[in-house]
Structures are given as C-alpha cells and as structure tokens.
Amino acid sequence: MFNSSSDPWAPTEETSAPEFANVVSCYKWHLLNKNASIAQANIACSMREDLLRLGTGMYIALWLLGLTIIITNTVVLLGIIGTRALHRPIYFYLANLAITDVFAGIGLLYRTVGHVGHSVMYEFTLTYFNLIIFAQMTSASALSLLSVDSYIAVKHPMYFHIHSDSAKLRAVVALTVSWILFSVLVFSPSMGWNCHHMQTLTKGICISWYPLAFVIICASIVLLLCIVMMFTNISVYVAIRNREKRRLEQAGVPLGAPGENGPVQNVEGGDQPKNAAQEEAQRKYKERVYKARTVMIHVLMSFAFWLLPLLLVAVCQFLPDICPSKRGPYMFACFSLNSVINPMATLIRTADLRNAIHQKLTGVHQTLVTMMRGNRVNPQED
C-alpha cells in the first residue's frame, strides 16, 4: 500500500500525481483521490514547488512592478508627512491612498520570494491573496473617501466651508474605521475562515481557499464602493458642467467659447467688476474643481485596471490556448497596475506636493554636496 521510502507521501512512479494548475487543485486531488488527511495533503503539496515557480520574465516583471509601486508611493507619502503645509484633509486621503498602494507592491514582491522557506504552500498562497485583496479593497475605500470629499466640496460648498474646522477629525475617524474593518475582514481567512482550516475544501462551495460567504461579502463591499465612486463623480461632473453653462449664459458668452480668465460680461454687454470676496470665492471654487478632476482621474484609471483582469478572464474562457496555464499572477499584476498610476497622477496634478518633494530633494542634494566639498578641503590651504 505504501512505498518503502521514509516519507510515504513523497511522489513515486506508482503514486505520482497529475499536473496541477495551482495549489488548490493539488490539495483537492489528494483529499479526494488519495483519501489523505489535511496534514498529509500539506506534506504532499509542499513538495510541489513547481506550482509556485514562475518564469524568469514573470519574476522580473513582478519585481520591477512591486519596487516601482513601493518607491513612487513612498515618495508621495513622505512628501505629505514631511510638509506641514500639506497636513490638510485632502492630503490625508491622498496619503491613505498611497499607503494602500504600498501593500499592493509588498504583495507582488512577496509573490516572487515569499514561498522560499514555506513548508506548507497554502499558507503562502493565502497570505499572498489576502495582501492583494486587502490592497485593492482599501484602495477602493480610499478612492471612495476622496470622491465623497470632492462631492461635498463642489455640491455643498457652504457645508464644506462651515465644517472645515472639524474636517481633519472626520478624515482621521473615517480612515481609522475603514482600516480596522478591512483588516479584520480581509485577514480573517488567515485566522481560520478558509476552506482549508474549516475542512470544507471538497465538501462546501469554495472559491479558491475562500468560503462563498467571504467572497460575497467582499464583492458586495467593493460593488458598493464602486457605486459610491460612480455616483459622486458623475454628480460632481454634472454640477461643474451646469455651473459653467450658467456662468457663460449670464455673461452672454456662447457655451464652449474661450474667456475663462477674461472679464465677465453681463447680459447687456458691459463689464461686470468683481469685488475681493467674489474673487476669493471664485478662486476657491476653481481649486475645488481642480481637485475634483484629479479624483476623477484616479477613479477612471482604477476602474480601467480593475476591469482589465475581468476582460482577461473572459478571453481565457473563450480562447484558452492563448492564455498562460498559471493565470493568477497575471491577473493580480493587472489589478495592481492602478497602484502605479495613482502616485504619478497625484504628483502630476498636485503642484503643492510636487514642489514640496522637489524642495526636499534639493535640500538633500545640497547637503550631500556640502559634505563632499568639506571632505576635500586641504587644511594647509586654510
């Protein structure tokens, strides 16, 4: 019944297992066809390192993508933290978005080397999945908070102005609550809420390692956050267009004509002067519109890269021959591409942050130059 080797679950010619597409299929095969226990399936599947091994090209791609995500988002995060003038609610939300994107980079780097030293592969796979899911759910939450903030600023400017003193407190509370809730939910499979620990991998309805209830809860939350992002950003876009249309109609300028910075004309055609309060209100409104458009760019790019893996799944269903056998790394890499675009969009669209980072880099450069010149000073010349 068993071979004569020291490990009865080591694969031999008589008991060699078929080729598996992933770790989950390996566990299911041993639990069903070998009548193995959980511990025995752990031993057998942990010997199959080929299930986790990636090609050289994919290793390099994940490494570069992960490092790029971590470096760019860390620059944004340090620029916000190190500049006191940027300690405002909008930058709190942008810093929160940068932190969530860093987790996506950590997950990609963990995928390339995290399996080294793991004797049980399902622990590694589960941790990797949890990191990517956590990064994307918290990213969706961060974008939702940004969208709600811009919605209130544009649609309800009086409320936004009156409650500006408590805006920091509300931002901190919202961020803290979201991180606690998502941490408990997403990492609950690592604490036992998974089909492997619950021993329902072959009995219940499972999607990968996850029970159906977990998948439904996560999908419902992401769908709700996407609805919030769509509703708020579409409402802001419509409000901006309507306000611009009314302004041009009152000024007697045809819609779409130039004159954004020119004098505003009244219906009779004369120039209508503006006082200081009106100028300040117009400046603040333009600033809010600019920030709202920045949020729209973040949301649109995230939607595009979240839909890309779904498109990949659809293509692989109809054309399986052109798809790689191991699709998981490619799908999660596509999910994480928005974590590269987010910091770039933030730096391009946020001049205050860009200038603050430039000043800090200039200061570091000047310090290094001063130190190098000081080391080359000749005491005899002095």
Name the residue with tokens 């860093």: 102
Report residue 4 as tokens. Answer: 């004569």
Report residue 258 as tokens. Answer: 């130039």
Report residue 53 as tokens. Answer: 């091994």
Per-residue pLDDT band at 183 (split at 50, 70, 90): very high
- Domains by residue range for the chain, with CATH: 1-51 (no CATH), 65-250+277-371 (1.20.1070.10)
Determine contact, residues 101/342, Cβ cutoff 8 Å.
yes
pLDDT computed for residue 369 by the predictor: 84
Report residue 48 as tokens. Answer: 């199959």
Report residue 229 as tokens. Answer: 């992002």
261 three-class SS: coil
Per-residue pLDDT band at 305 (split at 50, 70, 90): confident
Pairing outcome for strands 206-207 and 210-211: antiparallel
Q: What pTM was computed for the model?
A: 0.79
Which residue, among 319, 195, 118, has the nearest Cα to 311 in the 3D structure? 319
The predicted-structure confidence for 196-248, as pLDDT tens digits, reads as follows 888 888 777 888 888 999 999 999 999 999 999 999 999 988 888 888 887 77
State how far the Cα of 63 lies from the Cα of 72, in Å rounded to an integer.
14
Running DSSP on this structure, what letter comes out for residue 194?
Answer: S
Category of 20 on φ-ψ map: left (φ > 0), alpha (ψ -120 to 50) or beta: beta
Per-residue pLDDT band at 148 (split at 50, 70, 90): very high
Determine contact, residues 154/289, Cβ cutoff 8 Å.
yes
The predicted-structure confidence for 47-81, as pLDDT tens digits, reads as follows 777 777 777 777 888 889 889 999 999 999 998 98
State how far the Cα of 277 lies from the Cα of 184, in Å rounded to an integer.
48
